[in-house]
Amino acid sequence: MANIKAIRGMYDILPAQTPLWQFFEAHVKQMFAQYGYQEIRMPMVERTELFCRSIGEATDVVEKEMYTFADRNDESITLRPEGTASCVRAAEEHGLTYNQVQRLWYHGPMFRYERPQKGRQRQFHQFGAEVYGLDGPDVDAELIIMTARLWQQLGISDAVTLQLNTLGSSESRAAYRQDLVAFLEQHLEQLDADSQRRVTTNPLRVLDSKDPQTQALLNQAPDFYSYLDDDSRAHFERLKALLDKAGVAYEINPRLVRGLDYYCKTVFEWVTDRLGAQGTVCGGGRYDGLVAQLGGKPTPGVGWAMGVERLILMLQEMDLVPAELAQRVDVYMVHMGDEAAAATMLLAEQLRDQLPGVRVLWHCGGGSFKNQMKKADKSGATVALIMGEDELQAGQVQVKPLRGQSEAQTVAVDEISAAVQMLI
């Protein structure tokens, strides 16, 4: 056992870190509640086919990043690489989109077989939002505005920028794709290797290439916006107008295509320069064709997903972790002798009854008074409650502030809640 380690790219989140995760999660959950979104929980494993058919065979995710296994019955199953496909599957399976709008959110681990590096794991966590049954730009705006509110709450607004684009309808994209391929084929030798391969498999992804020479060439490529259909154009204009009204700034990025095949019309990413190469903290867009593509009645959809690890890293690197998160307990109970031990055990229960918000740690394992006080101090508690033989006999407790505020005092057992409440 001693030398069995976690799987490469999959990490334990240790007790020193979990308060920060809980802090972040609480903010996101509060945001969803504020906007009237409901939580949905899907399994972490799905039939492989679900992801192949939704994300697209020629995407990086399906081509090389999926954890795919045969189960004992020789069915091909995959650890989910993202949440949208599962969410659509679940919504359709349970009739959630039938004649109704759904505003949903989910949270949990995702799995992609990528090269692990800062901000890129093989098991990572996402919060995601998905809306079904609304085809207008109003809900696109809502989904973006809510993330802007979250950045504000977390204090990272100045460190993220919103990149916005439209991919138009599938017809306008098809017409553009044809002309783009013709252009790229004329300049094949100037493209980087990945892009050369993509000219046939997934030409729009070439627009996303990070290679400088490819990028330079793309300046002469046909301009997608001139292919845009009227409906998509109006949708995009209205979205921009709503974001303007809400005071959410954006940059139009005509090269933003996103890595998954199901998007149409709106696509966006929130990016930061604080994390090196892994700069996208949240990305999303509209996928009006996906529900039908998976066999459902045509239903518009739009959503986003955010990478929790990257946002946690940002909070740490920007020094935005609230100091109080390090404090685990408020009250530490010290006692000498078996009788006092039992009495403080009950006193701790009484405190938890009367002050449910207060965190009480009852010392276990015995030891000298000095030793227990050391542990009390190390625990980060604000106050120690001490009971020895004398206090036990007198029905009293010593209340000792540990953070240098005020003097120790002796208090009757039934006044202890009031005394604790004053100090924390």
Q: How far is the CB of 182 from ligand ATP (least distance, A)?
A: 27
Q: How far is the CB of 218 from ligand ATP (least distance, A)?
A: 18
Instruction: Tell me the chain's radius of gyration from C-alpha atoms.
Output: 28
What angle (nearest 5°) sits at the alpha carbon of residue 331, between those of residues 392 and 362? Answer: 60
Q: How far is the CB of 281 from ligand ATP (least distance, A)?
A: 5
The residue among 104 and 331 lying less far from ligand ATP, judged by its C-beta, is 104
Taking each helix axis from N to C terminus, what angle separates 18-34 and 137-154, rounded to the nearest 10 degrees?
140
C-alpha pair distances (Å), 182 with each of 3, 175, 187, 328, 372 = 55, 11, 9, 62, 77
The residue among 218 and 361 lying less far from ligand ATP, judged by its C-beta, is 218
Q: What share of the chain is helix, strand, coil (3-state, %, to 5)?
A: 45, 20, 35
Q: How far is the CB of 27 from ligand ATP (least distance, A)?
A: 16
> For 402, which DSSP code?
S
The residue among 119 and 203 lying less far from ligand ATP, judged by its C-beta, is 119
The residue among 109 and 222 lying less far from ligand ATP, judged by its C-beta, is 109
> For 422, which DSSP code?
H
Amino acid at 416: I
**DSSP codes joined into one string, 109-178:** EEE-----BTTB-SEEEEEEEEEES--SHHHHHHHHHHHHHHHHHHT-GGGEEEEEEE---HHHHHHHHH
Stated length of the chain: 424
Q: How far is the CB of 335 from ligand ATP (least distance, A)?
A: 47
Measured between alpha carbons, how far is 255 from 54 in angstroms, rounded to an integer? 22
Measured between alpha carbons, how far is 252 from 88 in angstroms, rounded to an integer? 28
Q: How far is the CB of 121 from ligand ATP (least distance, A)?
A: 4
Q: Are 168 and 264 in contact (CB under 8 A)?
A: yes
Q: How far is the CB of 28 from ligand ATP (least distance, A)?
A: 13
The residue among 25 and 229 lying less far from ligand ATP, judged by its C-beta, is 25
> For 66, which DSSP code?
-
- Dihedral angle of Cα 414, 418, 423, 424, to the nearest 10 degrees: 110
Q: How far is the CB of 308 from ligand ATP (least distance, A)?
A: 8
State the residues that interact with ligand ATP by CB under 6 A. 82, 112, 114, 119-121, 124, 126, 259, 278, 280-283, 305, 307, 309-310
Residue nearest to ligand ATP (CB): 307
Q: How far is the CB of 410 from ligand ATP (least distance, A)?
A: 54
The residue among 120 and 352 lying less far from ligand ATP, judged by its C-beta, is 120
The residue among 248 and 267 lying less far from ligand ATP, judged by its C-beta, is 267
Measured between alpha carbons, how far is 58 from 31 in angstroms, rounded to an integer? 35
Q: How far is the CB of 185 from ligand ATP (least distance, A)?
A: 26
The residue among 80 and 235 lying less far from ligand ATP, judged by its C-beta, is 80
The residue among 168 and 307 lying less far from ligand ATP, judged by its C-beta, is 307
Measured between alpha carbons, how far is 62 from 350 in angstroms, rounded to an integer? 56
Measured between alpha carbons, how far is 39 from 155 in angstroms, rounded to an integer? 25
